[in-house]
Amino acid sequence: MATPKKMATPKRKSAGAAPRASVPASSKVATVRKSTAPERVTAILDELQRLYPDVQCALNHRNAWELTVATILSAQCTDVRVNLVTPALFRAFPTPRAMATASLPELEELVRTTGFFRNKAKNIRGAAQVVTEKFGGKVPQTMEEMLQLPGVARKTANVVLGSWYGIASGVVVDTHVLRISRRLGLTRQTTPEKVEADLKRLLPQQRWVQFSHEVIHHGRAVCVARKPRCAECTLEPLCQAKDKTWHSA
Ligand code: SF4
C-alpha cells in the first residue's frame, strides 16, 4: 500500500527509523541471560533503544488535536489506513471548532474506511465539542482532563500526552505492547490497564514514552503476533517467551 505524503511533525527531528533487528546483539545482551530482573529489564531497554533509535509515533499529525483524532481512529485499524484518511479529514475540518459543528454523515463518510466509522465519527465530533467548549480549543495536558473527551481512554491519552506534550503520564499499551511485554516476561497480566501498571512499576519514567514506540516497531518488524521471528531477534537471550504455554497459542 502506498505511503501518503507525510505531514510535518514539528515535535520530532526525524522520521521513524528503519527496524534493525537483524543486526548482532550487543555483548551486554549475552552477558545478562541469567541475571537478576532489574539487570534484565535494563538490558531489554538498552537493546530496544539500540535497535530503534529515534523512533516516533507512526500516526501522521501536526498538532495535539490531529494526534488525538488520529489515535481515536486507529482503534482496530492500521496506522497506514489512518494516515490515508486524515489528510482529507483535516482539510475539511482543520480545527476542533470546525469539527464540533460538522454533520455526522459527512464525518462518517470521511472516516468510513477505518472501521467502526459511526462510533468513531460520533467520538471525534464529541471530542471536538468538549475541546472547544471546555478547554478553549486546546487539547488538555492532564490525564484526568483527557479522559473527559469522548472516545479517549488511557491509551489515547498516553499517546497524546507522551508523543506531543512530552509528558510521561503512563505507558501506551496497545496490542503489540501487551503481547511483547508478556513474551519478554515483563508482565503476566492480560488487560491493558494491568499491563500498564506493571510496566510503570518496572520501567524508569523517562523511558515510558519511547519504550512503547520501540516495542510497537519490534512488534511489526520481528515479534509479530502469530509467528514471532525469534531466530533473528536480538532480544532472544533476554526473552522468556519460549517457556510460556501462551507463546505457541
Ligand atoms: S525472542 Fe521471539 S518472542 Fe521474544 S521478543 Fe524476540 S521475537 Fe518476540
What is the SS3 string spanning 112-176? HHHCCHHHHHHHHHHHHHHHHHHCCCCCCCCHHHHCCCCCCCHHHHHHHHHHHCCCCCCCCCCHH
Residue with the three cell numbers 514471532: 228
Question: How deeply is 144 buried, as exposed, middle or buried, from its count of CB atoms within 10 A (0-12, 13-18, 19+)?
Answer: exposed
44 lines ligand 1 (CB under 6 A): no
- Rounded to the nearest angstrom, the distance between the alpha carbon of 235 and the centre of ligand 1 is 6
| pLDDT tens track, the chain, 249 positions | 333 333 333 333 333 333 444 445 554 454 444 434 889 999 999 999 999 998 999 999 999 999 999 999 999 999 999 999 999 999 999 999 999 999 999 999 999 999 999 999 999 999 999 999 999 999 999 999 999 999 999 999 999 999 999 999 999 999 999 999 999 999 999 999 999 999 999 999 999 999 999 999 999 999 999 999 999 999 999 998 865 444 443
Dig out the grid coordinates for 153 from the structure. 481512554
Distances (CA, A) of 115 to 68, 79, 176: 17, 12, 19
241 lines ligand 1 (CB under 6 A): yes
215 lines ligand 1 (CB under 6 A): no
C-alpha span between 166 and 158 (Å, rounded): 10
Best mutation site among 29, 211, 222, 226 for ligand 1 pocket (most ligand atoms within 8 Å of CB):
222
- Rounded to the nearest angstrom, the distance between the alpha carbon of 184 and the centre of ligand 1 is 7
230 lines ligand 1 (CB under 6 A): yes
The full set of domains in the chain, from first to last, is 27-51+171-248 (1.10.1670.10), 64-164 (1.10.340.30)
pTM listed for this prediction: 0.81
C-alpha span between 84 and 75 (Å, rounded): 15
C-alpha span between 121 and 106 (Å, rounded): 9
